[in-house]
Chains A and B, each alone.
Chain A
Amino acid sequence: MGKQLIQTHQYPNGLTLITETMDDVQSAAFSIMVPAGSIYDQTKRHGTASILADLITRGAGPYDSRQLSCALDDLGVQSHEGANSAHITFSGATLAGNLAETLKIYGEILKAPHLPENQFAASRAGAEQALLSVEDDPRQKALIELKRRSFPAPWGLPTDGDLADLPHITIKDIQQHYQSCFQPNGTIIGIAGDVDFEQVRQLVDDIFGSWEFAAVREEPGLVYDQEKVFFTEQESTQTHLGIAYDAVPYGHPDYYAAWAAVGILSGGMSSRLFTEVREKRGLCYTVSASLTGMPGLGRVLCYAGTTSERAQETLDVTLNELTRLGEGVEESELERCKARAKSSLIMSQESTSSRASSIARDWYYLKRITTLDQINEEIQQLTTDRVLGYIHAHPAANFTVLTIGPQPLEVPSDIL
């Protein structure tokens, strides 16, 4: 992979900075993860973090909402902010020379947002429109609902919130969420690109050094759903299927074996699901499985969309492929996973945004950074025995099955 220059710094107030200095790029990208995600929404107030992520850029420090957007545009910043389960994340990229000015603006956003009361209604209305659009998009809804059903609450709850809760959320809830969650301790800043560590370390110190450490919050308790089969009737053209089962989380010693197992199922067009469900039977256009997780808990989430009269066959074939994995894994299948991994790891060095978010995420999950070489080595050392051993220890079983469409499907009770 070539040598990577990755450096970290922990500030006295608990803020962590990770930088990766990259060759042959002109840009710098950042990913700022603030521990203020939707898992911290209060009961009956789901959507608070999501509204905060919108309202927080509507004016901060010396800027009003419009001035803030213009300042970022003038610096050529391509930015995005949004709430996920654990964090509100601010990410962006610009020419490296503009990084310092850009981070100063983010300092204002994080530390001195106006959270203007007169824009709260608009922000909440925007959140409502977004949720209504999800209701109209059965594919997106299937994946959101599958996550809800297969992860414990509050981690599985939709990060954009709940339509029924929105009317109850007030500006006070937003302010309170900000007060209790926006803190340097636990906040991670990942920066990658044409940057110098010492300069960035000093810059971040100047901007965020005075940010005061806040009391450590209690993490929310977990609530598991006991139901395993879900059906939502919708007059859609296709039936949308979601299937979930247990896996290991990122950071687990078997994580890369789990990654390879899912890769054999769904990595590339020679993978089993694509071959068996789409290529050999023509049952659908989209079929996929991915490994996803939260700290301490991993899941495989599968999706297929198919016309309703072929939905039962699609479900049966897909479930069969998932369970059949335990019967054996070909050497060539694993080799293809290794080749894909190597290539995507090398190519990730062409993207400052991809590296910035990787190093920030790594710190959150592992409290250290895995280099591309280390990941590649872990993957290249995998054997079919090791992958099969993982599959036997964590078989595709105890499925959660969800369908959205005109008709419910038959789910064999012995697989639940």
Chain B
Amino acid sequence: MIFYKEKLNNGLQIIAELNPNAHSVAVGYFVRTGSRDETDAVSGVSHFLEHMAFKGNEKYSADDVNRIFDEIGANYNASTSEEVTLFYGSFLPEYLKTALELLSTLIYPTLRQEDFDMEKKVILEEIGMYDDLHSFTAYEKVMQTHFQGHPLGRSILGSVQSITDLTSEQMSAYHAQQYMAGNLTLVITGNADWKQVLELAHQFCDHWPAGKTERPMDEATPADHAQIIIEKGIQQQHIMQLAPAPSAQDLLRLPAEILAIIIGDDSNSRLYWKLVDTGLAESAELGYNEYDGSGTWLTYLCSDPELTESNRQRIQEIYDDVNQNGVTLEELVRAKNKLASRLVLRSERPMGRLSSLGGNWVYRQEYVSVADDLKLLNSVTLEGIQKLLKKYPLGYSTTAAVGPMTSVAD
């Protein structure tokens, strides 16, 4: 496993962790843009643009893009978050050139009007689809409420109204501003030749416009105990709650990752034993999410509405106990073990390595090998967890409820 990095004159960063014994190569363009970089007028444009990327450029039509990816048997897709738009795929090593050329064409699409109009319908369908996924609705609502007034509170999908109103000119302007080469990182893992990677990158990316946008990274200061209730005539009650947690740049993020496993993993965690093992809830989880400059503890509870209040109390009791007494050494060691195993198993495939390699680079400009990652994990101590809890105690400042309940206790 060898690490390489390079920066083109236009600012495009290229990083690679190569392994000649891998069966495949995975490639991703990490674009540092997402819903937090939007304005009200273009809400949802990052995600819509991610779809439009697949409509091709002057050389390749939308049909061509889909056809050629399928001709080389690629596994490929794209995703948009609050902060990163990612275009990625895994391929057999012999198709590196074709794959890289095609992925590069996605970054500068032509944005034809007829494609834009057609894809708008698909985006509206996607909004409809997520509307039927109640945990997603709860997530969107809790994010909007928690980060109200902060860029992280913007919806990734946008609304039916904002998408309907969006024009292709607005999208072009957003694209020109956000897709400058300095906002992009090309990440490659698996079986590839670094010299060839560089040659191809020069060939496909040298002409991209230089430049970089700055993103304000102020830590959010959420309102205390804000609530949003969405009534739906469904069987189960979904509750999502957020509280501040360490940001992606904070060294406390490692203890935070471990604490989330101890308290709220989907198996063998404190929430699991108290609520899921006992059949009181379908899900009861604590997650830790890191962003540029901010972070969140995300509590998710899905249960029979009649049990929701008592379940929330049970969660609060666990949080109170942890905030006061911390966790045990046994729990810490076990969680480290669990995370280490996940890390090693995931890293066996180039595609499994891509996101952590890219994530570390985009958020922190650092390369962390699997071995170094394991060392970092092992360096977390009970004192580190105490320090974390002192600054970012478990709890909630914002609640979103989706389901039959008309109110939730504060």
Contacts and interface: CB of A to CB of B under 8 A. Distances in A.
Interface string B49-74: 00000100000001100110111111
Interface string A216-260: 000000000000000000011110100000000000000000000
B76 to A, nearest CB: 8
Contact of B304 (A24, A132, A270, A279): A132
B125 A122 contact: no
B390 to A, nearest CB: 27
B272 to A, nearest CB: 9
Given A132-B236, A133-B282, A270-B63, A343 B345 contact: no
B56 to A, nearest CB: 12
B410 interface: no
Nearest to A238: B128
B125 A95 contact: no
Nearest to A346: B23
Interface string B85-108: 000001110000000000000000
A351 B278 contact: no
Given A121-B279, A129-B303, A76 B338 contact: yes
B409 interface: no
Given A74-B334, A74-B337, A235-B233, A124 B279 contact: yes
Interface string A337-375: 001111110110111100000000000000000000000
A73 B66 contact: no
A187 interface: no
B71 A307 contact: no
Nearest to A267: B70
A150 interface: no
Nearest to A268: B70
Contacts of A139: 129, 132-133
Interface in A59-86: 65-66, 69-70, 73-74, 76-78
Interface in B254-298: 267-268, 273, 276-282
A25 B348 contact: yes
A269 B341 contact: no
A335 interface: yes
Nearest to A271: B70
A347 B90 contact: yes
B279 A279 contact: no
B119 interface: yes
Interface string B221-245: 0000000000001111000000000
Contacts of B63: 270, 275, 279
A371 to B, nearest CB: 15
A163 B110 CA distance: 52
Contacts of A135: 234-235
B122 A129 contact: no
B132 to A, nearest CB: 5
Interface residues of A, number: 73
A178 B242 CA distance: 42
B24 A350 contact: yes
A223 B334 CA distance: 48
B80 to A, nearest CB: 14
| Most chain B CB neighbours (cut-off 10 Å) among A236, A238, A343 | A343
A136 interface: yes
Name the residue in B90, B268, B337 with the highest tally of chain A Cβ atoms < 10 Å from its Cβ. Answer: B268
A148 interface: no
A336 B349 CA distance: 24
A126 B279 contact: yes
A350 B341 contact: no
Contacts of A350: 22-24, 348-350
A404 to B, nearest CB: 10
B258 to A, nearest CB: 13
Contacts of A47: none
Contact of B24 (A76, A237, A346): A346
B73 A340 contact: yes
A268 B66 CA distance: 8
Interface in B342-358: 342, 344-345, 348-350
A416 B267 CA distance: 45
Interface stretch (A13-21, A197-205, A281-289): A281-289
Centre residue among A58, A93, A285 by max chain B CB count within 10 A: A285
A349 B191 CA distance: 14
Contacts of A339: 70-73
B344 A69 contact: no
A284 B66 contact: no
B338 A285 contact: no
Interface in B117-153: 118-122, 124-126, 128-129, 131-134
Contacts of A346: 23-24, 92
A284 B235 contact: no
Interface string A47-59: 0000000000010
B203 interface: no
B75 interface: yes
Contacts of B342: 78
B201 interface: no
Q: Which of B91, B124, B234 has the most CB of A within 10 A?
A: B234
A238 B348 contact: no
Given A93-B345, A122-B277, A238 B125 contact: yes
B58 to A, nearest CB: 19
B67 A270 contact: yes
Given A24-B22, A73-B337, A78-B341, A343 B74 contact: yes
A159 interface: no
Contacts of A279: 62-63, 66, 118
B21 interface: yes
A125 interface: yes
A336 B67 CA distance: 8
Interface string A261-282: 0000001111100110011111
A195 B406 CA distance: 56
A186 B91 CA distance: 38
Contacts of A95: 341, 344
A164 interface: no
B24 A347 contact: yes
A73 B122 contact: no
A305 interface: yes
A129 B236 contact: yes
Given A74-B337, A122-B278, A269 B125 contact: no
B71 A237 contact: no
Contact of B71 (A58, A73, A285, A335): A335
A318 interface: no
Given A78-B345, A122-B279, A305 B91 contact: no
A69 B302 CA distance: 22
Interface of A: 23-27, 58, 65-66, 69-70, 73-74, 76-78, 93-95, 121-126, 128-130, 132-133, 135-139, 235-238, 240, 267-271, 274-275, 278-286, 305-307, 332, 335-336, 339-344, 346-347, 349-352
Given A135-B234, A285-B129, 13 more contacts: A95-B341, A129-B282, A137-B133, A237-B131, A267-B70, A269-B66, A279-B63, A279-B118, A305-B132, A307-B124, A332-B67, A343-B75, A346-B24
Give 7 nearest A-B pairs by CB, closest first: A125-B279, A76-B341, A343-B73, A282-B121, A129-B282, A122-B279, A268-B70
9 contacts: A74-B334, A76-B344, A122-B278, A133-B236, A237-B131, A307-B125, A332-B67, A336-B73, A351-B349
